[in-house]
């Protein structure tokens, strides 16, 4: 199936108050086990039995603990870096193989469906696929810029000044490398993985991003170490694996996340609704996914472009990110069934299966993220949103703080309950 290479040779200076420079950072215990043991358990559970671990001179505690891997149900070999080779240099020690290589860093707590990750990688056929996800601090993270089919078209480094809105899609530090990439790396050499391995492949259009809301968190700082411990104890980490049925809170956009008013046709017209960021952050910290489901007929009517709509949604991500919140995915319908608008795009003036109250967007999300709709919610400020949830098989919440115009077509669409705003709704759902 696959083999794995774990980079466990980092100095771990940010976690020195816990490691006391005595044990390697990947050997710090979370839930009674070293971080590295959680990784090895995940790999073996996913069918990966051939694991190489790169260690530094001070990392002998790792082979002392794991040995040859037999007691953990796998084969573990060690790459000893007498001199630090950077985050990517150990790739040169890997023997040739026809298998893909899962490459990850040893300070990550994660629980992901590797089989789904691999299927995406093989389908795209690139040299490298990076695991990518939103997080609560995109402003100080490396952000991936994507093109069609999730091709990575650029990397926006955390130290680069950001003069425009940007997506909340961060590089998680988990990758699948093709056999061709490994064999072309050559002899062991000093290499920064992102700069010397990943960036050239981005330029050659050979790198893709697998976008997933599954749990991957760097436990390399004291604050994040404590958060990971809490998440493990609460069951959040395991529950996010997409091999398990997920729960979602589907969110309308206008009047729910952002202030209701005129149609939002440019980023300058979008403002977060009071309490919205706090509500989304509460969802992020729960076992639910936060997924936006929104009709955007402004595209079909020619009032904005797909490119400008992307900027609007990046502003939404930026505003949420400033408050430590994020949405796991966003679906929009650009269609509109009626003609007669100046500048309209005729190819989008159609009867579609995605425009609310039809459940197309929710059903697409459910398929992608393995969502149990009966355990999920649709929250919006119109009875059309309520009917969308009913049509999809979710429970529903109607907000009274947004659009109060009543469409007679949906006046009989009764919600599970009514709340004033998103914050009140989320508190009731989670409570």
Number of domains into which the chain is organized: 2
For residue 254, the model assigns a pLDDT of 96
Q: Is residue 239 part of a domain?
A: no
The stretch 172-200 carries a mean pLDDT of 96
Residues 21 and 121 in one domain: yes
Task: Return the number of other C-beta atoms located less than 10 Å from residue 8's C-beta.
Answer: 26
Write the pLDDT tens digit of every residue in 330-358: 999 999 998 888 889 999 999 999 999 99
For residue 340, the model assigns a pLDDT of 83
For residue 10, the model assigns a pLDDT of 63
Residues 208 and 258 in one domain: no
Where a domain ends, among 199, 234, 269?
Answer: 234
The stretch 415-422 carries a mean pLDDT of 97
Residues 217 and 263 in one domain: no
The stretch 257-269 carries a mean pLDDT of 93
Q: Is residue 381 part of a domain?
A: yes
Cα–Cα dist 183/187, whole Å:
9
Q: Is residue 97 part of a domain?
A: yes
Cα–Cα dist 257/241, whole Å:
26
Q: Is residue 240 part of a domain?
A: no
CB 193 within 8 A of CB 119: no
For residue 245, the model assigns a pLDDT of 98
Q: What is the sign of the dihedral through the CA atoms of 121, 111, 249 and 376?
A: positive
CATH code assigned at 351 = 3.40.50.1000
Residues 226 and 196 in one domain: yes
Both structure tokens of 247: 């729960």
Query: Which H/E stretch holds residue 231?
Result: helix 222-234
Residues 189 and 260 in one domain: no
Residue with tokens 């609704």: 273
Write the pLDDT tens digit of every residue in 112-158: 999 999 999 999 999 999 999 999 999 989 999 999 999 999 999 98
Residues 194 and 341 in one domain: no
Q: Is residue 151 part of a domain?
A: yes
Residue 219 pLDDT grade (very low, low, confident, very high; cuts 50, 70, 90): confident
Catalytic residue among 254, 318, 328, 403: 254
The stretch 380-402 carries a mean pLDDT of 96
Burial code (b: 16+ CB inside 10 Å, e: under 16) for 195-222 equals: ebbbbebbeeebbbbbbbbbbbbbbbee
For residue 73, the model assigns a pLDDT of 97
The stretch 97-110 carries a mean pLDDT of 96
For residue 221, the model assigns a pLDDT of 81
CATH code assigned at 15 = 3.90.550.10
Mean of the per-residue pLDDT values for the chain?
A: 94
Q: Is residue 168 part of a domain?
A: yes
Task: Return the number of other C-beta atoms located less than 10 Å from residue 149's C-beta.
Answer: 9
Q: Per-residue pLDDT for 402 more than 90?
A: no
Q: What percent of the chain has pLDDT over 90?
A: 86
Cα–Cα dist 278/320, whole Å:
9
For residue 1, the model assigns a pLDDT of 77
Q: Is residue 133 part of a domain?
A: yes
Q: Is residue 272 part of a domain?
A: yes
For residue 408, the model assigns a pLDDT of 80
Where a domain ends, among 234, 255, 277?
Answer: 234
The stretch 266-277 carries a mean pLDDT of 97
Name the β-bridge partners of 75.
50
The stretch 366-395 carries a mean pLDDT of 97
Q: Per-residue pLDDT for 307 more than 90?
A: yes
For residue 11, the model assigns a pLDDT of 54
Write the pLDDT tens digit of every residue in 230-243: 999 999 999 999 99
Q: Which of 197, 195, 187 is nearest to 103 (CA)?
A: 197
Residues 123 and 260 in one domain: no
Cα–Cα dist 249/135, whole Å:
17
Residue with tokens 């579609």: 352
For residue 283, the model assigns a pLDDT of 98
Segments forming the whole domain that contains residue 256: 246-430
For residue 330, the model assigns a pLDDT of 98
For residue 130, the model assigns a pLDDT of 98
Write the pLDDT tens digit of every residue in 10-55: 655 555 555 555 688 899 999 999 999 999 999 999 999 999 999 9
Residues 224 and 272 in one domain: no
Q: Is 381 designated active site? A: no
Distances (CA, A) of 87 to 18, 96, 140, 164, 194: 22, 20, 19, 30, 8
Q: Is 417 exposed, middle or buried (0-12, 13-18, 19+ CB in 10 A)?
A: middle
Where a domain ends, among 234, 265, 280?
Answer: 234
Residue with tokens 């429970």: 395
Pairing state of beta strands 128-133 and 170-177?
A: antiparallel
Q: Where are the beta strands (DSSP E) in 158-311?
A: 170-177, 207-211, 215-218, 247-251, 288-295
Q: Is 421 designated active site? A: no
Residue 403 pLDDT grade (very low, low, confident, very high; cuts 50, 70, 90): confident
Residues 253 and 399 in one domain: yes
Residues 202 and 62 in one domain: yes
Catalytic residue among 107, 231, 252, 318: 252
Residue 417 pLDDT grade (very low, low, confident, very high; cuts 50, 70, 90): very high
Both structure tokens of 344: 């309209």
Residue 411 pLDDT grade (very low, low, confident, very high; cuts 50, 70, 90): confident
Q: Which of 89, 95, 63, 67 is nearest to 7 (CA)?
A: 89
Burial code (b: 16+ CB inside 10 Å, e: under 16) for 336-347 equals: beeeeeeebbee
Determine which of 167-171, 180-184, 235-239, 402-406 has the lowest per-residue pLDDT on average.
402-406
Residues 70 and 198 in one domain: yes
Residues 212 and 298 in one domain: no
Both structure tokens of 261: 């008013």
């Amino acid at each position: 199936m696959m083999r794995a290479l774990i980079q466990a040779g980092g100095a771990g200076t940010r976690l020195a108050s816990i490691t006391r420079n005595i044990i390697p950072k990947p050997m710090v215990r979370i839930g009674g086990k070293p971080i590295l043991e959680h990784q090895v358990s995940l790999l073996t559970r996913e069918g990966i039995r051939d694991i190489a671990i790169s260690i530094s001179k001070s990392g002998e505690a790792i082979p002392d603990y794991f040995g040859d891997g037999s007691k953990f149900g796998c084969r573990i070999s060690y790459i000893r870096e007498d001199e630090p080779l950077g985050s990517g240099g150990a790739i040169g020690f890997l023997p040739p193989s026809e298998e893909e290589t899962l490459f990850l860093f040893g300070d990550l707590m994660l629980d992901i469906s590797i089989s789904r990750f691999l299927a995406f990688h093989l389908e795209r056929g690139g040299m490298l696929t990076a695991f990518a996800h939103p997080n609560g601090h995109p402003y100080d993270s490396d952000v991936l810029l994507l093109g069609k089919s999730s091709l990575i078209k650029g990397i926006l480094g955390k130290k680069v000044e950001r003069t425009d809105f940007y997506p909340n899609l961060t590089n998680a530090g988990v990758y699948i490398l093709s056999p061709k990439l490994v064999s072309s790396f050559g002899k062991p050499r000093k290499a920064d993985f992102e700069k010397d391995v990943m960036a050239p492949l981005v330029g050659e259009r050979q790198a893709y991003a697998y976008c997933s809301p599954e749990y991957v968190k760097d436990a390399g700082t004291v604050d994040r170490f404590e958060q990971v411990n809490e998440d493990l104890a609460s069951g959040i980490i395991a529950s996010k694996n997409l091999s398990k049925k997920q729960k979602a809170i589907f969110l309308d956009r206008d009047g729910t996340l952002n202030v209701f008013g005129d149609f939002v046709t440019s980023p300058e017209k979008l403002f977060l609704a009071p309490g919205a960021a706090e509500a989304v952050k509460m969802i992020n910290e729960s076992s639910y996914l936060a997924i936006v489901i929104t009709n955007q007929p402004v595209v079909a009517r020619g009032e904005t472009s797909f490119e400008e709509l992307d900027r609007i949604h990046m502003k939404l991500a930026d505003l949420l990110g400033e408050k430590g919140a994020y949405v796991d995915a966003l679906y929009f319908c650009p269609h509109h069934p009626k003609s007669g608008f100046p500048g309209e795009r005729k190819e989008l003036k159609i009867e579609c299966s995605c425009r609310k109250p039809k459940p197309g967007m929710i059903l697409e999300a459910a398929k992608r993220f393995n969502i149990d709709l009966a355990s999920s919610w649709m929250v919006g400020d119109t009875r059309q949103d309520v009917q969308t949830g009913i049509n999809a098989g979710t429970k529903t919440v109607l907000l009274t703080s947004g659009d109060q115009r009543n469409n007679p077509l949906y006046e009989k669409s009764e919600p599970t309950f009514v709340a004033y705003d998103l914050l009140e709704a989320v508190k009731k759902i989670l409570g």
